Amino acid sequence: MELENKTVIVTGASSGIGAAAALLFAAEGADVVLGARRSANLETLAGTIRRGNGRAAFLAGDVKDEGYADALVDLAMREFGKLDAAFNNAGIVGEMGPIPDMGTSNWNDVLSVNLTAAFLAAKAQIPPMKEQGGGSIVFTSSFVGFSNGGMPGMGAYAASKAGLIGLARSLASDHAADGIRVNALLPGGTVTPAGGEGNPDVLEFIANLHPMKRMASAKEIAQAALFLLSDRSSFVTGSPMIADGGISVRLT
């Protein structure tokens, strides 16, 4: 029970890595607060957790809205009395293509969902963690935003994910003395709806980029997030933790 008696916010919880993480965290003893845009999916997931004797609350909304970040924290405090951790996982890939051909609206959308939303989440989550004496925050970044892991046609996505690493490191420095750890998790290709789930040709191409010759399951990435949120990583902060099947090694 790695997260027993802890309250954890999970965004992007309606499917993929977020849903897998919410199920895992609840199984490890956490009270979970689920956030995403699709209310029906969140209700179904919360029901699954409750049937397994876990505790879950959910609120649908858009992570780009500052009020939504505040509302998720308020829900955690109202339902469970505290906030111990957050897995800020919501993100989009956006349209792919060369930067000269990219529309400004796509750039703004990707940066807003992937990076600005993380800033808004941290603003809302850090004060209650600081007041209670500590906590752990994890942002889902990507190998695409790290080292030489850039991929063609993914300029907006790469910029947003690289920005998350910088944000995590800065927050870690600012709040280490408050007992708040902040890390970035860098998955490789993962079988999720955003990762080409259901398209065998896409999955095979992405899998073959990895030295392990496969993609991760959503639960494997959730396990890495569990480590960063749990007390097992009590001396880890400001880290871009790679869980990418070796793809960044190949691209370096």
For 6-30, the pLDDT digits (tens) are 999 999 999 999 999 999 999 999 9
pLDDT of residue 74: 98
Given a cut of 90, whether residue 38 has pLDDT beyond it is: yes
Residue 51 and residue 3: Cα distance in Å, rounded? Answer: 18
Which CATH number describes the domain made up of 7-251?
Answer: 3.40.50.720
Sheet of strand 180-187: strand arrangement: 55-60, 31-36, 7-11, 85-88, 135-140, 180-187, 240-243
Q: Which residue has the tokens 């919360």?
A: 46
pTM for this structure? 0.92
> CB atoms < 10 A from the CB of 104, how many?
7
User: Tens digits of per-residue pLDDT, 178-234?
Assistant: 999 999 999 987 787 655 455 677 677 777 777 767 778 889 999 999 999 999 999
Residue 106 and residue 146: Cα distance in Å, rounded? Answer: 21
User: Tens digits of per-residue pLDDT, 61-100?
Assistant: 999 998 999 999 999 999 999 999 999 999 999 998 999 9
Q: How would you label 67-85 residue by residue, b for 16+ Cβ within 10 Å and e otherwise?
A: ebbeebbbbbeeebeebbb
Catalytically annotated residues = 157
CB under 8 Å to 166, separation ≥6 — which residues? none
Residue 229 and residue 13: Cα distance in Å, rounded? Answer: 16
Residue 132 and residue 117: Cα distance in Å, rounded? Answer: 23
Higher-confidence residue: 146 or 182? 182
Mean pLDDT, residues 48-57: 97
Question: What are the angstrom distances between the C-alpha of 61 and each of 11, 67, 70, 176?
Answer: 10, 9, 11, 30
| Ramachandran sector of residue 134 (left: φ over 0; alpha: ψ -120 to 50; beta: rest) | left
Whether 69 contacts 117, CB under 8 Å: yes
| Domain chopping of the chain, boundaries | 7-251
Given a cut of 80, whether residue 148 has pLDDT beyond it is: no
